[in-house]
Amino acid sequence: MRTALISDIHGNREALEACLEHAERAGVDAYVFLGDFVGYGADPVFVLDTAMSYVARGAVAVLGNHDAAAAGARADMNDDAAAAIAWTRTVLSDAHRDFLARLPLAVEKGTTLYVHADPSDPAGWGYVTDLYSASRALVATRAHVTFCGHTHVPSLFHMSVTGKFASFDPVDRVEIPLTQRRRWLAVIGSVGQPRDRNPAACYAILDDATDVLTYVRVPYDIDSAARKIIEAGLPVGLAYRLYEGY
């Protein structure tokens, strides 16, 4: 089975559509959504309608911090993020809010864990950004592979059987064998708002028959996504940053 791992869409219809089209062409069989469907972008309704349809057909989905805020939870966010969430709340339906409110913080399937933020404390919304935070997360879980998002920066960490930790930056479309002798923490980059200075949408594909993970960058229509942010009256910086990938 080939599974698409999709995170941090953030209301970006164009980026999501591009990734889903690529995944279909790549022969993906299953989908996992790692949270933050909403926030920043101007198409939260489309994104949630799409995600809800995939979940209804068996896709896995977990809660992100922006999702929790949109559903009514208190959140500590910068001004632009808070403004986007305030706007998002005005366009969501009761069905959207109910979907978000029901999402779990984490889902464990066999030896694989899916979570939005730091798996050592999913409700704390911590970031896995370096070897220290990754080692804390790996020690706190028992999964062979943990997939998360939240940072908007693709990265990969692993722990050997002797307890040694290491990391590297994944390269677009280069296959990575997730060997059984190591435990892995894969931070999936962002579909809707990449922050690694590459504006192309980022998602990943896991082939569980071979335990191979591949990160994929997908160009999309940034002009349309940015224009809609401005037309919605959202902070213009949220539009401009799409071009720079930061």
pLDDT in tens, 38-68: 999 999 999 999 999 999 999 999 999 999 9
Reduced to 3 states, what is the DSSP secondary structure of residue 74?
coil
Domains of the chain: 2-244 (3.60.21.10)
Q: Mean of the pLDDT values across residues 102-119?
A: 97
DSSP letters for 152-209: SS-EEEEEETTS-EEEE---TT-EEE--TTEEEEEE---SSS--SS--SEEEEEEETT
Q: Mean of the pLDDT values across residues 82-89?
A: 98
Q: Mean of the pLDDT values across residues 6-31?
A: 98
- 53: exposed, middle or buried (Cβ count in 10 Å: 0-12, 13-18, 19+): exposed
Instruction: Look at residues 160, 165, 134, 136 and name the one whose alpha carbon lies nearest to residue 147.
Output: 134
Instruction: Look at residues 84, 38, 36 and name the one whose alpha carbon lies nearest to residue 63.
Output: 36
Fill in the amino acid letter for 162.
T
Q: What is the pLDDT of residue 81?
A: 98
